[in-house]
């Protein structure tokens, strides 16, 4: 009995010792980790890391977080601003607007890009942003979907920016293309702008003609737009002008095409695709059959190619030879897609 007791005691002692050793090692690891973390946090607080992209959202939930992280953005280059969805029915409080403009003013020497996302009419805030950044901003993105009149006003103010190299314009389709183009004409031909990405839809012959007039003599290297093909079908003169316009010194062209009627029509853009470094196509609606036209797609440098919906039956391979990113939404097709 005594032997058993001593054995049990001995084993308990061994277990306790081992437990103490493991506990000591664990505590040591934790203390070391905490100490190292504190060291880096202390360094970060006194010598803030130069973060260059700041997300600024006008919402109560994000406001407290914004106050905590702002000091770490000492050399911010990009601000992504968005009014909260909660402000769809109310404007941003003046105090918050003033705070944003003050930050923009204090960092205007380093800020080169603004991404502005508006959920409602914030015309006074936009005026102040333009006044503050018009002389230094190089890249601008504006997204306005809800308020058509506000979108028109925003477009009319684009000419105020003197050094824009990149312009991205996302507005509702309810804003006619000719209105946007008229508002943007001066900035498109300022001799500095290199990239113009927009959601404007060229619906009519007049829209297409106006588009050609605006960008024919521009220095644009990268263009993105949407095109209704119906006005160009049978109108070879206008189509030739558009192709010539897109072929003039362009590097990247991205087109969203509506109402494509044939592969032959797509192949008319072959001269553009041969000149451009990238000529990417997104077809929203297409209605053609290879039984009527066995011609294959002959476009070059098409790295992104997608078809959303339509009657399209490729018996032979109609995909661009350089395609890297392919999207075919088969659920919206009238017949199965066969790719060989």
Q: Is residue 182 part of a domain?
A: yes
CB atoms within 10 A of CB 161: 23
Residue 48, pLDDT score: 54
Return all residues near 333 (Cβ < 8 A) that are at least 6 apart. Answer: 307, 309, 310, 311, 312
Q: Is residue 337 part of a domain?
A: no
Pair 151, 261 in one domain: yes
166-171 and 139-144 strand pairing = parallel
pLDDT in tens, the chain (340 residues): 444 444 555 565 555 655 565 566 666 676 677 778 877 777 666 555 567 888 898 877 788 888 888 877 878 899 999 887 655 556 778 888 899 999 999 998 899 999 999 888 888 999 999 999 999 999 999 998 777 888 888 988 888 888 999 999 998 877 888 888 888 888 888 888 999 999 889 999 999 999 998 888 788 999 999 999 999 998 999 999 999 999 887 889 999 999 988 888 888 999 999 999 999 999 888 876 554 455 778 888 998 888 887 666 555 546 777 777 777 765 544 444 434 3
Distance of alpha carbon 189 from alpha carbon 194, whole angstroms: 10
Q: Which token pair is 299?
A: 């476009």
Q: Which token pair is 199?
A: 């959601």
Query: 0.75 cut: is pTM over it?
Result: yes
DSSP string of 250-294?
-SEEEEEEESB--HHHHHTTHHHHHHSSEEEEEEEEEE--TTT--
Average predicted confidence (pLDDT) for the chain: 80
* Domain of residue 313, residue span: 50-332
Q: Is 41 exposed, middle or buried (0-12, 13-18, 19+ CB in 10 A)?
A: exposed
Pair 35, 158 in one domain: no
Pair 67, 43 in one domain: no
C-alpha 3: how far from its chain's center? Answer: 78
Pair 243, 270 in one domain: yes
Say which CATH number the domain at 288 has. 3.80.10.10
278-287 and 252-258 strand pairing = parallel
Pair 194, 320 in one domain: yes
Of the candidates 332, 285, 335, 299, the residue with the CA atom closest to the CA atom of residue 314? 335
Residue 141, pLDDT score: 95
């Amino acid at each position: 009995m005594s032997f058993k007791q001593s054995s049990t005691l001995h084993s308990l002692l061994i277990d306790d010792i081992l437990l103490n050793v493991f506990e000591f090692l664990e505590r040591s690891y934790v203390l070391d980790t905490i100490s190292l973390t504190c060291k880096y946090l202390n360094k970060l607080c006194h010598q803030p890391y130069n973060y260059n992209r700041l997300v600024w959202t006008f919402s109560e939930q994000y406001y407290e977080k914004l106050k905590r992280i702002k000091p770490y953005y000492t050399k911010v280059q990009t601000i992504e601003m968005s009014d909260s969805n909660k402000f769809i029915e109310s404007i941003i409080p003046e105090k918050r607007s003033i705070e944003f403009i003050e930050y923009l003013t204090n960092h205007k020497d380093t800020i080169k890009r603004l991404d502005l996302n508006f959920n409602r009419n914030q015309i006074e805030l936009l005026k102040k942003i333009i006044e503050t950044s018009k002389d230094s901003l190089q890249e601008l993105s504006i997204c306005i979907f809800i308020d058509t009149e506000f979108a028109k006003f925003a477009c009319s103010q684009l000419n105020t920016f003197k050094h824009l190299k990149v312009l991205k314009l996302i507005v509702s389709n309810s804003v006619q293309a000719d209105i946007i183009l008229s508002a943007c004409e001066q900035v498109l031909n300022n001799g500095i702008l290199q990239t113009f990405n927009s959601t404007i839809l060229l619906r009519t012959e007049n829209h297409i003609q106006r588009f050609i007039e605006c960008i024919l003599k521009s220095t644009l290297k990268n263009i993105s737009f949407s095109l209704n093909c119906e006005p160009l079908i049978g109108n070879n003169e206008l189509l030739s002008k558009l192709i010539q316009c897109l072929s003039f010194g362009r590097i990247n062209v991205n087109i969203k095409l509506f109402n494509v009627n044939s592969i032959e029509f797509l192949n008319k853009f072959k001269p553009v695709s041969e000149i451009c470094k990238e000529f990417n196509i997104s077809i929203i609606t297409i209605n053609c059959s290879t039984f009527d036209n066995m011609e294959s797609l002959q476009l070059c440098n098409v790295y992104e190619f997608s078809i959303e919906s339509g009657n399209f039956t490729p018996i032979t391979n109609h995909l661009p030879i350089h395609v890297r990113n392919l999207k075919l939404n088969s659920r919206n097709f009238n017949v199965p897609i066969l790719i060989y």
